[in-house]
Copies of this chain bind each other. A is one copy, B any other.
Amino acid sequence: MYRRRDDRRGQMVADITRDLRRYSVEAQHIGHAFAGLHGLNATDLHALIAVMDAELLGDPITPGRLGEQLNLSSGSVTALIDRLERGGHIRRDRDTADRRKVFLHYADPGAALARSFFAPLGRRNDEVMARFSDEELEVVHRFMAEMVISMREHRDAIRAARGEPARRTAGTDPDNATR
């Protein structure tokens, strides 16, 4: 689209760029549509997924860390958690050691919702991937992993250019990040 070259490889680069853009636009639309279908908004859905992820890893998330992941102010996070708790999706639990902290745990309705979001997507993933060999998938993985790294750097650069000092999220550390 922007910068079009004539050689075959240049065309390929452009195609992939366009693929990626389309993919993320679709992903956003899907999240938005699914959320709306269940009376949530896009942020709520992201939060629900983050809470579930953390819980499945045995490392419950706190409002503070949730705010970092979603890039939300602390006040917004409280309101967000209020909404989700009111909807019965998650619940708050005070830490016994440090009573300032609140741990977020998902309640069953929330978990079911998250599963119903991912299950069909997973099926579709499987369908597509079935058409590729192990070696091909390996290439795809290598490519996507590198793209994600590059995107994260870019994200941090933009955030740094703003006022937020890059706001070291879990993304700064190499790869143990939940997502």
Which residues of A line the B interface, CB within 8 A? 1-3, 8-9, 12-13, 15-30, 32-34, 36-37, 46, 53, 56, 71, 115, 118-122, 124-129, 131-132, 134, 136-148, 150-155, 157-159, 161-162, 179
What B residues does A1 contact at CB under 8 A? 53, 56
Verify B19–A148 contact, CB threshold 8 A.
yes
Verify A26–B151 contact, CB threshold 8 A.
yes
Min CB–CB distance A38 → chain B (angstroms): 10
Given known contacts A29-B71, A158-B30, is B120 in contact with A143 (CB within 8 Å)? no
Bound-state CA distance A125–B147 (Å) is 7
Which of A26, A34, A122 lies at the interface centre, i.e. has the most chain B CB atoms within 10 A of its CB?
A26
Verify B132–A139 contact, CB threshold 8 A.
yes
Nearest-CB residue, chain B, relative to A129: B13
Verify B158–A13 contact, CB threshold 8 A.
no
What B residues does A128 contact at CB under 8 A? 143, 146-147, 150
Verify B30–A151 contact, CB threshold 8 A.
yes
Min CB–CB distance A4 → chain B (angstroms): 10
Q: Which of B16, B154, B179 is close to A140, meaning CB atoms less than 8 Å apart?
A: B16
Verify B29–A144 contact, CB threshold 8 A.
no
Verify A37–B161 contact, CB threshold 8 A.
yes
Verify B137–A34 contact, CB threshold 8 A.
no
Verify A24–B22 contact, CB threshold 8 A.
no
Verify B118–A154 contact, CB threshold 8 A.
no
Min CB–CB distance A174 → chain B (angstroms): 13
What B residues does A9 contact at CB under 8 A? 134, 137
Verify B115–A16 contact, CB threshold 8 A.
no
Bound-state CA distance A97–B12 (Å) is 39
